[in-house]
Each structure stands twice: as structure tokens, then as C-alpha cells.
């Protein structure tokens, strides 16, 4: 299977880069405002892993469904959720994409078929299976993107979901973001079989592997998996090999890994390697890079201002949306 | 027309499948086996394997898939064979179905019905005799139903499916074979899923029961009537949200109450009923509310022990007598 | 891997046969007394599958641990639990092996390290992992036999337990009794991958397959798996291909399978094929067969008499053994 | 010596590991990460990876493995990171740990301690803020503890490990950073695991709390004292079995009570407390028992909403005032 680089034109290449920058700057700001106490609860940064969401998400159509985890700022943004709404949600404000009820771990956007935002490891997989079952029963062509970390593979939910999807030939793309750690637990201390594609194949689910630090590899591999799925082939699995540069959450002292290891991965950082490549290919100048970055930062600054100015929901509304307003 | 509780449930399923293409039934052995309690027998033949869908043994997975299918625009009815196995799926129900509307700020909702058999009394021992209705009734975002009559078995599914939120429907194992008359006309079973029902009027004491406890409460009331004590019997029907006004109304009349609950006493739903009566009718009560619940033991297999562990009519009668100072 | 017949001598061959007969007659009586209302609750018969328990159980040592399911009369009996105690338990009597608290689905014998009797499908697998972990931490050589049906393979508990055992190299022998149906659900409607050995191997757990209708194949394969395990090799998995001749439980109308299929499997019945073979090999005469069978029936008759005469536990004892008597 | 609740828990773990070779600690990230709430930090280095054992994300599997290891002669301490994830392991706790002694007719027992963080108040939203202590306290066969003080955090593990039955120990997330003085001598923390404790004496009203609610109850009591109302504050400490005599003793003196419970009101442990007071002290009560619980919503993330959803000292004060007719 060859995944060699595909000649993207300048515009589409720069768009990919811009997306990664938007995620990166969004999260850097989130970390900053976490420090300032404006964002609270758990905040799980995606920094280092941007190529996955940026490369994979555009492969899905508007009508498709997306399910993600608590580390989903990038996925939400790439799905088209406005940055203002994401930032406001992290600030807990009424104009947040979940009206301040969810916070960082529970971004939702029903209109964009972005089904969240799940803080239970593995919890999204059965949902994705069900969404795909709905599509199948409705004879609709949509597919479901289901993102999760490699730590989730040990959960019973993974096993049951993979089997159901394969057994019923449901259109779920299982997108496993293998960043090598689940909190402080390295893959080899979590799985007897560390080749996750082998695990996926044991359910008769075809599996592909992408370099999750390379947005082109991500995009190509995702498209390849989807092509097969859209032809009616049932579920597929993609392992994106990636790495998180930051701590697991804002509470993690990172005792479990070597700074050297982190530094080595940082050399493969998705943004600077891709921009270097584009420069080498003559598709990007330093000025263009800086302009893209400035645009991302401006978008983030505006989002922060929006979020900060937005109102909290009044406490009188606390009981809203637990169940439907009308009595059945 | 004589019909059993089981048949009433089945006819309700049949109506639902026939009238709404978004409805499908899924669960372990609902299809080819005919349902472990034979509720869905014949439905596979009528509606095919897509809509009467056998699942592997994966409670967490297929309950979660029900949640997802509801999000995706379907109206799934998921059968978890028994409440005992629902513990395996609890996360998807509590952290998924019940929470999604709120967590998403009201954008999503989960129109899902989960049916399960509950209760003891068939000598199925510790792992197959649980009554966890009270646990589900604790969870905001869920609606919890316990049909205790043939009419409710026939009637509750339709409004449950019309409800835009997840509904848990408990079928008590001792009731499946219960038979009774039920007219052919839907008016015979049409019902809401928000009110308790008075099943017997009386003025001496209120007996509050639900699910498998109702018949025992009525039996006790009959016995008490023989002693000149007229008990009012209230069937909760809906365990969440509780219809507190109906309970308070009855107790303000009778001034005494006994709650019957097949759950283990400590922390069972009966405690919540007592608390509500305390909060809303304290000054109307002539005596502390009594509770007749299961003994606090994992359910034993042996018949005499199981019978001793469960709330029986005799114990209800005794509790009422104690309340009335007639011991 | 060749599992060709091994020359057992006459005595040991007849002992295997006698064991299968004891299980068969015990269960036939149980069915009869169920019909008579003396046994109640759920009763899951093992008839047709006797070669598995009879062939596998003797491979385990006295010090080993055994975990079984609700279909465990045969396992309990082969483990040495007296038939009287088993029958009395099914009758719900105080002299039953679980003092009448458990019934058919919950046979226990702590002294024989028979850890039951579990009515939650897949529920025994984590227990077996923990028992093996205890053995490992205690530096003791014992291994754990964990029996379960092929239906359990779809449960998250299977996945989590296989992975834990393999990851920590724990001495569990996963004994999968593949009788092709979980209640009414055929394997192919339950698993996307119906080759269960492939599934086991996806956890890096070595897997063997035995003809579960042939007591010699069962015994040889089990021994082979155990030899590797006892040499410190971590867990192993054996699939026993077998078939239940009776309904799933006493309530099952058997709508899901063809009588012809059942009849075809009955031709491979473990008792008559093995006795035919022994006769052909000159290790058994018809008289000897009848004598063995008569002895089994006599044992069963005595057990029934014992169980019927035994007292129920007095209701005053209901609250016993929920927690320890002494206050901590 | 000043010590935090977190350090007190850690020292108790250290003692347990040092003094009994059968004891080991296992759970997600208890080792290399140092524990998700840093409780077990440093223990891996002291006791090695066999005895401070990181597990994969497999709550059902490793909790069940804890049950099995207990059956096999060990004294496991299993950390389930938070009560939220314990739903995934509920089957092994309820149908395994709690039931095995009884199902086996008393032959087996499960000396297992399961520790979990519980509670809200850190803006962790709907899936990470549960309080299910009451659910576990419903299950016969379990013992359920809720250390609310530094001494109890330090002292409860030892008797929990000595207990031959499964013990669930709830650590409230808001307490980990709590600091206080604790002597060096074990007598400073030695305790039983069967009694409630009076944390403040008073005669006007009894406030009953546990876990994360205790400090808020004490805060409320201080405020009330400023108004001349002396509240007696009882810390339940042991949620199963409940120490009813201590509760009744206090209420017979004060004639009024308020229960504080971070669980959703309906069906929370508070309901059982009310029911016990109804049953044992009805004629001693001058007013219905009040309850201050969490609002019945999945916990919202936004700070003002979360604060409004939780029992706060102000709400406790208000409840007491209402009871005393001082509104
Ligand atoms: C069921 C469950 N168990 C434990 C946790 C706590 N937890 C949150 S994230 C996490 C690590 C998950 O790792 P992985 O799946 O690899 O995703 P990553 O964080 O690396 O993106 C853990 C253990 C949880 N949220 N849910
Ligand atoms: C968790 C759980 N789900 C469902 C059931 C109901 N049930 C009892 S036995 C059984 C079939 C199990 O099949 P298998 O594992 O193949 O074992 P077999 O009965 O064939 O020996 C089912 C579904 C149960 N006991 N536990
Ligand atoms: Mg990871
Ligand atoms: Mg089977």
C-alpha cells in the first residue's frame, strides 16, 4: 500500500496548514485562559496531533456524522463549529456551542452533525455504531466518523462496538488516534498486542495506518478507507500514529515519559514539517506562513473577546433541557 | 377479550412497528428465539430481521447503539433481557441517554425506549432477581415506567415512543402470565405516562405499590377489607417523575400509608416515597409511614427463603395492622 | 498440530466413560425432577457436551482453581463435588453445596477451589484473571480453568479479561465451550469473526482447538495447552467444538434450529461414540458398559433420595452470610 | 503535623502495603502517573510495579480481577479513578463482590477494598460529577465508607482491609487539598467502620451530612450559631450499614433535622435517612425533616450553574431556618 505524497495545489495545501494553525492557536489560547481561571474543569490539549483532525475531517461530507472524545477542540473546529462558539463554551458561556453546559469536554453541534464531546473513554463508540445503524436502516449513504484514543482499545466498549459494526456491516470509520499514551499509561503497558491494526482485523474490519504527524498521509489514508466504505463495504479502521506534545490535562505532572522522547517527537511536529515541505515545494513563502498564522491568531483573539464578553446563562435557567419542556 | 400481560406487551410492540417505520426492536434473542420471556414471539416473522434484530451478547454496545440510532433519527426499542444485565449497560444509559440533551445545551435528544424484565419470585437466585427500578428513577433525564396492569402493558409503549426523551420500561417477571379482560378499542388502554393511578378506593390507609407489588398490595387490601379496614391502593405507574400530588392527596385523606417495594429496603424507591410524604404530608400523618420491602440479602434460590425475602401480602397486612395499632 | 488418539488403557478409558455417564444421568434426573417441581429456577443442561468437562477437568490439579458458568453441573461433578451435594443444591436444600442459596446456576465448593457457578454471561472471566493474578503474586504454580460459552466472546468482559491475562502473563486457561448457540443466537449472528481461535490469537494468546464431542481430543488438547502454561507461558485458549442436545433451559421452545441439525450432532454423541470406539478397541464389553451405567444411575438415585430427604434451611436463617458475622 | 486529606490517604496506603504482603494497589494510572488525584504518588517507587499496578482502561476487567484476587487469598485495593467510571464495573461489584458470600452459602468471601473519587464542584460537567454513594449503599454484602475528615482519610483503610467483606471507600474530590493537623500517633486516626460521628454538638436541629457535604454542613452550623441556633452536625462516615441509633439519638434531642446529600434529591441516600427518621423518631419530630441535595440536572459545566446545582451552606442555613419557622 503506497501512500506517497499527492500533489496538492498551493491553495489546498495552504488551507490544510491554516487549519492546523487555527487549532494550535486556539488551544494555546485555551491553555492561557485556563491559567487565568476563565476556563476550568478539565482541558485536554490536542497540540501535536493537529494533523489528524485537519487531515481527516475534510474527508467527511456535510451529511456525515462525527463522534469525538474529550480531546475534541480540533475536531469541532474542523467540522465547522465556529471558533467563537467553541471558545465561549470553554468559558462556560450561554453563547457556547453547548450553551455552557458542556465545557471543553462536551462540544456539540447538532446542525453540523457533530455528536460531541464524550468524557467516558470508549463511550462514543457504541453511539457511532448506532448512528451508522440509523443511516443503514434509513438507506442513506452517510457514514460516521468515530474518533478515540488508543487507550480506549482496552475497553469492552471497543470490542463490542467493533464487532457490532462489522457484523452488521455498518458504515463507521473508527479513527484511532494513537498518541502512545493514555494519561500516563504507555501502549505496551495497556495492550498485549500493540499492533492496533491487527486488533482491528481480528473483527474482520479492514485496517489502515497513517502517519498522524503528516497531514497528507492522514488525508490520503482517510480517503482511501472511506472510498471502500462508501462503496458499501462496512466499517473500517484507521490508526493515526501521533503524539501529544503537552500534558494529558492541565493537572498532569508528566512523570511517565522522558523529555527527550517529547523533544524527538516535536521535531516531527505537524505544522513545521508541513510548512517546511510546502516551502521546499515552492507552495509557501515565509510571508504567507506568517500571514496565515496572523489570521489564525486574530480569529482566536476575536473568539476570546467574544467568549469573555458573552453572558453566563442565568441561574434561573438551571433546570432547562433535562427533559423536553412539553409533558408527554 | 382475554389477554395476557405478555400478549398485551406484544400487541403494543406490533402496533408500534406497524405504524412507524422509524421504530425497530433490538436485543438479545428478540428474534429467532422469540424473546427470552416470549414477548416478541412472532414479530420477526411479521417485520423481518432488520426491524426485529437479534444482537450479540453485548449489553453496553447495543444499548449504546440504541442511543446512537435515536440520535440518528430512529425510534429504537431496545430490550435488555433483564434489569440484572442492565448493570453492564448502565454507563450508556446514565452518561449517555440521560445526559445528552443537557450536555449539548438542548441540541440533542434521545427518543429511545429500553424495555427490561425485572423482579424476583421465580427462584432465579442472587444474580437474576434484582429490582433496580429505583436506581433508574434516580436519574434526571430519564422517564421510568412500571406497567402493573394489562391495560398499562398494552398502553404505555405508545406514549413512551412519543416521548422525546429516553424511557425505561420495566416489565415484572411475575406478571407475564397474568391474564385479564381488555377491550378491543384503544380507549381501553390509552394512558398517560405521568400519573399514578388509584386502583382501589379506601379511607383507612393508603398502600402505595408499583410493578410486581401491585397485585400483592391489592391482595392485602382484600384481606384487610375482611377485617373492616378499607385500604386505598395507589399504583405509582410512573417511577420518574413521581406523581407526588396523587400520593399526597390520598394520604391527606387516609392519614396513614404503607409503601410496598420489591427493592432491598435501604435506599429503595420506597425511601423516596416516604421522604415525599414527610415533606408534603407530615402534619396529615397519624403514624409513621410503613415500608414493606425485600429483605436485605442477595436473593436466595430455595423457595422458602425466597418467599421470606420478598414482600408478601401477609407482611403488608401486618404492616397496616401495626400502623392502625391493631397488633 | 496432530491430536491423534492416544492409547489409553482399559481402566482409564472406562473411567472417562463412567464420568460422562455420571454427568448424563445426573442431568436426566435433574430434568425429571424439574418436571416434578422439585427443582426450580433456571436449569441449563449440559447433555451432549459431557466430553468437555469429563476430558478437561482431570487435567487440572487439586490446587488449581476452577471458574464456570450457569451450565456447570458437569464441571462441578468432575471437580469432585459430591453428587449428593449437587443434587441437594438443585433441590434448594441446606445440605446442598451452596446451602440452597445458589441453586443450579451457583454451585460452589471452596475446599475444591470450585469458584462457581456464575449466571452473568462473561462474568466469570475477570474473576479467573484475578485468581490467576493472586497465584502469580503468591509465586504459586497453580493455574486457573475458566469455562465459558462462545456467546460470552461478544461481551466486553471477554475482551478485557483476555487482554489483562495476556498482558500480565497470567496462568488462565480460557476454556471456550463452543456449542454454536447462545440461547437462540447462532455464532455467525453474534461474531463478525467466527473463528474463535483467531480472536484469541489477536490478544497474543495461543489457541488450540479440540473436538468437544471426543473426550480424548478434549483431554489431549487441554493437556497440551496446560503443558505450555505450566512452563510459565501465560494464558492459553482452547475452543471445544461441541453441541447441546437439549434446549437452552427448560423454557426454550427451540425455534431457532432445525431438528435435523440436532439429530446429526446426536450421531456424534460423546458417550455412544466413545463407547463404540472402546468396544472396537477391545477395552469395553456391553456388560461392562451396562454396569458402568447402572452404577451411575444408582449414584443418581441415591443423590435424589438424599436431596429429597434433606431439610430446607429454616427461614430464620435468611439473613445469614450476607456479610461476616463479626463486626469489623 | 499538618497533612492533607490526599497525603493522609497516601500514608494509609503506604502503611497497608508495608505491613501486609497480601495487599496490593491496582488501577488506572496509580503507578507511573502517580494517581489521577496524586493519591498514590511515590508508592510505585517504594513498592514496585507488581504491588502498585497500572491497569489498562478496563474497569469491568480489573475490578473483577480484584474480586478474583481477593478470592485467591490477596487483599487487593482497587482504585476506580472516579465513581463515574465505576458504572462500567457495577456488574462485577453487585453481582460478584457483593453476592459471592451469600450465593456460595457462606463458603467464599471477598476481602476487597475499592477506592473511588466522587462528587462535583470542580466544573467537570455531567459525566464527571456524579455522586453515586447512595447506589452502593443500597447493596447488601457491601460496606460503604465516606471519609470526610483527615483522620478518617488516614484511619479508615486499615479496618477496611481487615474487613472480610468488600468495602467501597469514597474520597470526595473537593477534599483532596484539605489540610489539617494530625498527630503522629495512630491513636489520632484509629477508627471503627460502623459508627457515625457527632462533629458538632447542638440542640436546635440535627444536620446530617457525609463526605463532601460535611464541611458545608459545618459552615452552615457556624453561620447558624451566629443567629443563636446551635446545630448538631452528624457525619454519617459509614453509608452502609447506616448507624441509625446515633441519628435517632440526636434527633430525639433536637426534634428537627436536615439531611445534606450531594446526590440528586429523588432517590438519594438522603431519602433513606428521612425514612429511618420517620420510622424511628416520628413522634419526636417537631417538623418534617428537610433535605438539601443536588438539583435534578446532569451537572452543568458553567460555574454559576454548577454552584446553583450543588448543596451550599446557604441552602442548608435556609433549610434550617424554614424548619424553625424563621423565614
Ligand atoms: C471509562 C473511563 N475511564 C477512565 C477515564 C479517565 N481518563 C480520561 S482520558 C484517559 C486516557 C485516555 O487515553 P486515550 O484513549 O489514549 O486518549 P488520549 O487522552 O491519549 O487522547 C483516562 C484514563 C475516563 N474518562 N473514562
Ligand atoms: C450478561 C448476560 N446477558 C444475558 C444473559 C442471558 N443468557 C443466559 S445464558 C445465555 C446464552 C449464553 O450463551 P453461551 O455463552 O454460548 O453459553 P451456552 O449457554 O451456550 O453454554 C444468555 C443470553 C445473561 N445470563 N447474562
Ligand atoms: Mg492516547
Ligand atoms: Mg453457546
Decide if B82 contacts B116 (C-beta within 8 A).
Answer: yes
Task: Determine contact, residues A219/A19, Cβ cutoff 8 Å.
Answer: no
Q: What is the pLDDT of residues B123-149, one digit of tens each?
A: 999 999 999 999 999 999 999 999 999
Query: C151 — contact with chain B (CB < 8 Å)?
Result: yes
The pLDDT of residue B33: 97
Q: What is the pLDDT of residue A253?
A: 87
Residue B61 has pLDDT above 50, yes or no: yes
CA B112: distance to chain centroid? 16
Q: Sketch out chain C's domains with CATH numbers.
A: 10-311 (3.40.50.970)
C97:D159 CB<8 A? no
Q: Mean pLDDT of all residues in chain B?
A: 98
Q: What is the CA radius of gyration of chain D?
A: 20
User: Does pLDDT of C193 surpass 70?
Assistant: yes
C325 shares contact with chain D (CB less than 8 Å):
no
Q: Say how many Å lie between the CA of residue C265 and the centre of ligand 2.
A: 21
Q: Are strands A185-186 and A181-182 parallel, antiparallel or unpaired?
A: antiparallel
Domains of chain D by start residue, with CATH: 2-188 (3.40.50.970), 197-323 (3.40.50.920)
The upper half-sphere exposure of residue B291, i.e. CA atoms within 13 Å in the direction of its Cβ, equals 28
Q: Is the pLDDT of residue C127 over 70?
A: yes
3-class state of residue A169 by DSSP? coil
**C204 Cα to chain D: minimum distance (Å):** 16
Q: Which residues, in sequence order, are CB contacts of C69 under 8 Å at separation 6+?
A: C117, C118, C119, C121, C124, C147, C148, C149, C152
Question: What cell numbers appear for A310 in the block?
Answer: 458573552
User: What pLDDT score was predicted for residue A3?
Assistant: 34
Q: Which of A155-164, C7-16, C160-169, D40-49 has the lowest mean pLDDT?
A: C7-16
**From the CA of A248, how far away is ligand 3's center (Å)?**
9
* Residue-level pLDDT at C3: 34
What chains are in contact with B, requiring at least 3 Cβ pairs below 8 Å? A, C, D
The pLDDT of residue D17: 98
**Stretch D143-172: mean pLDDT:** 98
Q: Which residues contact C177 (CB under 8 A, 6 or more apart)?
A: C49, C52, C71, C147, C148, C149, C150, C212, C240, C242
Cβ pair B37, B13 in contact under 8 A: no
CB pairs under 8 A between A and B: 159
C-alpha cell at C260: 435435523
Predicted confidence band at D198 (pLDDT cuts at 50, 70, 90)? very high
Q: Is the pLDDT of residue D154 over 80?
A: yes
> What residues have CB less than 8 Å from B285, skipping those under 6 apart?
B251, B255, B256, B257, B277, D282
Q: Determine the length of chain C.
A: 328
The string over C222-253, giving b where at least 16 C-beta atoms fall within 10 Å of a residue's C-beta and e elsewhere, is bebbbeebeeeebbbbbbbbbbbbbbbbbebe
Chain centre distance of CA B141: 17
Q: What is the pLDDT of residue A7?
A: 59
Asked if residues C21 and C292 have their Cβ atoms less than 8 Å apart, the reply is yes
Provide the β-strand partners of residue B2: B181
The confidence score (pLDDT) of residue D263 equals 98
Nearest ligand 1 atom to the CA of A71 is 21
pLDDT at A2: 32
Cα-to-centroid distance, A223 and ligand 1 (Å): 27
Terminal Cα distance for chain D, rounded = 43
Lowest pLDDT segment from A26-30, A323-327, B2-6, B110-114: A323-327
Q: Which of A72, A151, A190, A240 to mutate to test the pocket of ligand 1 (most atoms within 8 A of CB)?
A: A151
C-beta atoms of D296 and A103 within 8 A: no
Which among C57, C91, C92 is positioned nearest to C76, based on CA atoms?
A: C57
Cis amide bond preceding D241, omega within 30 = yes
Of A156, A167, A189, the CB nearest to C159: A156
Query: How far is Cα A92 from Cα A104, in angstroms, rounded to an integer?
Result: 9
Rounded Cα gap, residues B62 and C189, in angstroms: 14
Phi and psi at residue D112, to the nearest 5°: -125, 135
Position C4 pLDDT exceeds 50: no
Query: Does the N-terminal peptide bond of residue B241 adopt cis geometry, omega within 30 degrees of 0?
Result: yes
Q: What is the pLDDT of residue A232?
A: 81
Atom of ligand 2 nearest to the CA of C248: 19
Contact B63 A327 (CB under 8 A): no
Q: Read off the pLDDT of each residue in C109-136 and give the average, rounded to a whole number.
A: 98
pLDDT of residue A327: 75
Q: Is the pLDDT of residue C5 over 70?
A: no
> A202 at the C interface (CB within 8 A)?
yes
Residues 6+ apart with CB under 8 A from D74: C133, C134, C137, C138, D22, D23, D24
Residue B271, pLDDT score: 98
Mean of per-residue pLDDT scores for chain C: 96
Label residue C68 by pLDDT band (50, 70, 90): very high
Residue of B7, B59, B158, B262 with catalytic role: B59
Name the band, by pLDDT with cuts 50, 70 and 90, for residue C231. confident
| Per-residue pLDDT reduced to its tens digit, C133-181 | 999 999 999 999 999 999 999 999 999 999 999 999 999 999 999 999 9
Q: Is-above-0.90 flag for pTM?
A: yes
| pLDDT tens by residue, chain A, 328 residues | 233 445 589 999 999 999 999 999 999 999 999 999 999 999 999 999 999 999 999 999 999 999 999 999 999 999 999 999 999 999 999 999 999 999 999 999 999 999 999 999 999 999 999 999 999 999 999 999 999 999 999 999 999 999 999 999 999 999 999 999 999 999 999 999 999 999 999 999 999 999 999 999 999 999 999 999 998 889 999 999 999 999 999 889 899 999 999 999 999 999 999 999 999 999 999 999 999 999 999 999 999 999 999 999 999 999 999 999 987 7
pLDDT attached to residue A281: 95
Instruction: Inform me whether the pLDDT recorded for C215 exceeds 50.
Output: yes
- Whether residue B287 has pLDDT greater than 90: yes
Cβ contact B78:B27 at 8 Å: yes
Global ipTM: 0.98
Instruction: Report the Cα–Cα distance between both ends of chain A, in Å, rounded.
Output: 55
Amino acid at each position: 500500500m503506497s501512500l506517497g505524497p499527492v500533489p496538492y495545489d498551493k491553495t489546498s495545501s495552504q488551507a490544510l496548514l491554516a487549519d492546523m494553525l487555527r487549532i494550535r492557536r486556539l488551544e494555546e489560547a485555551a491553555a492561557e485562559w485556563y491559567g487565568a481561571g476563565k476556563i476550568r474543569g478539565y482541558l485536554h490539549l490536542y497540540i501535536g496531533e493537529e494533523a489528524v483532525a485537519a487531515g481527516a475531517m475534510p474527508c467527511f461530507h456535510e451529511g456525515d456524522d462525527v463522534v469525538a472524545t474529550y480531546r475534541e477542540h480540533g475536531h469541532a473546529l474542523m467540522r465547522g463549529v465556529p471558533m467563537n462558539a467553541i471558545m465561549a463554551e470553554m468559558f462556560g458561556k450561554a453563547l457556547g456551542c453547548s450553551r455552557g453546559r458542556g465545557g471543553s469536554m462536551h462540544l456539540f453541534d447538532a446542525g453540523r452533525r457533530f455528536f460531541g464531546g464524550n468524557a467516558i473513554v470508549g463511550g462514543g463508540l457504541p453511539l457511532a455504531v448506532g448512528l451508522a445503524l440509523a443511516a443503514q436502516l434509513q438507506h442513506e449513504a452517510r457514514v460516521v466518523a468515530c474518533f478515540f484514543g488508543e487507550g480506549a482499545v482496552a475497553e469492552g466498549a471497543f470490542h463490542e462496538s467493533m464487532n457490532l459494526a462489522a457484523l452488521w456491516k455498518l458504515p463507521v470509520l473508527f479513527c484511532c488516534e494513537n498518541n502512545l499514551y493514555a494519561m500516563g499509561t504507555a501502549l505496551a503497558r495497556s495492550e498485549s498486542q500493540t499492533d492496533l491494526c491487527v486488533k482491528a482485523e481480528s473483527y474482520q474490519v479492514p485496517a489502515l495506518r497513517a502517519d498522524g504527524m503528516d497531514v497528507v498521509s492522514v488525508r490520503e489514508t482517510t480517503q482511501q478507507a472511506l472510498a471502500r466504505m462508501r462503496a458499501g463495504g462496512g466499517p473500517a479502521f484507521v490508526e493515526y500514529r501521533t503524539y501529544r506534545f503537552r500534558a494529558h490535562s492541565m493537572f498532569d505532572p508528566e512523570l511517565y515519559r522522558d523529555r527527550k522522547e517529547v523533544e524527538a517527537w516535536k521535531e516531527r511536529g505537524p505544522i513545521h514539517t508541513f510548512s517546511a515541505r510546502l516551502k521546499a515545494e515552492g507552495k509557501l513563502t515565509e510571508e504567507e506562513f506568517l500571514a496565515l498564522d496572523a489570521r489564525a491568531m486574530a480569529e482566536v483573539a476575536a473568539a476570546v473577546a467574544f467568549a469573555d464578553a458573552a453572558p453566563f446563562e442565568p441561574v434561573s435557567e438551571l433546570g432547562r433541557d433535562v427533559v423536553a419542556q412539553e409533558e408527554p | 377479550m382475554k389477554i395476557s400481560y405478555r400478549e398485551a406487551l406484544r400487541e403494543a410492540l406490533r402496533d408500534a412497528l406497524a405504524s412507524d417505520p422509524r421504530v425497530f426492536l433490538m436485543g438479545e434473542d428478540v428474534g429467532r428465539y422469540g424473546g427470552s420471556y416470549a414477548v416478541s414471539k412472532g414479530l420477526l416473522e411479521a417485520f423481518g430481521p432488520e426491524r426485529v434484530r437479534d444482537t450479540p451478547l453485548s449489553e453496553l454496545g447495543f444499548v449504546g447503539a440504541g442511543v446512537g440510532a435515536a440520535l440518528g433519527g430512529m425510534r429504537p426499542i431496545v430490550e435488555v433481557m433483564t434489569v440484572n444485565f442492565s448493570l453492564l449497560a448502565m454507563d450508556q444509559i446514565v452518561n449517555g441517554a440521560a445526559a445528552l440533551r443537557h450536555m449539548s445545551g438542548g441540541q440533542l435528544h434521545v427518543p429511545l425506549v429500553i424495555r427490561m424484565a425485572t423482579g424476583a419470585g421465580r427462584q432465579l437466585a442472587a444474580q437474576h432477581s434484582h429490582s433496580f427500578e429505583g436506581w433508574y428513577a434516580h436519574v434526571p433525564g430519564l422517564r421510568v415506567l412500571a406497567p402493573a396492569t394489562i391495560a398499562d402493558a398494552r398502553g404505555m409503549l405508545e406514549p413512551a415512543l412519543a416521548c422525546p426523551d429516553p424511557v425505561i420500561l420495566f416489565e415484572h417477571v411475575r406478571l407475564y402470565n397474568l391474564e385479564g379482560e381488555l377491550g378491543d378499542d384503544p380507549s381501553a388502554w390509552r394512558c398517560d405516562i405521568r400519573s399514578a393511578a388509584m386502583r382501589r378506593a379506601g379511607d383507612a390507609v393508603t398502600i402505595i405499590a408499583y410493578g410486581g407489588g401491585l397485585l400483592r398490595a391489592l391482595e392485602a387490601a382484600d384481606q384487610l377489607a375482611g377485617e373492616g379496614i378499607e385500604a386505598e391502593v395507589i399504583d405509582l405507574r410512573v417511577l420518574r417523575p413521581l406523581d407526588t400530588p396523587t400520593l399526597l392527596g390520598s394520604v391527606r385523606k387516609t392519614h396513614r400509608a404503607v409503601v410496598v417495594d420489591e427493592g432491598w429496603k435501604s435506599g429503595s424507591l420506597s425511601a423516596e416515597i416516604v421522604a415525599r410524604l414527610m415533606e408534603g404530608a407530615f402534619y396529615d400523618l397519624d403514624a409513621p409511614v410503613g415500608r414493606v420491602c425485600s429483605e436485605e440479602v442477595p436473593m436466595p434460590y430455595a423457595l422458602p427463603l425466597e418467599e421470606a425475602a420478598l414482600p408478601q401480602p401477609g407482611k403488608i397486612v401486618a404492616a397496616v395492622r401495626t400502623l392502625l395499632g391493631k397488633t
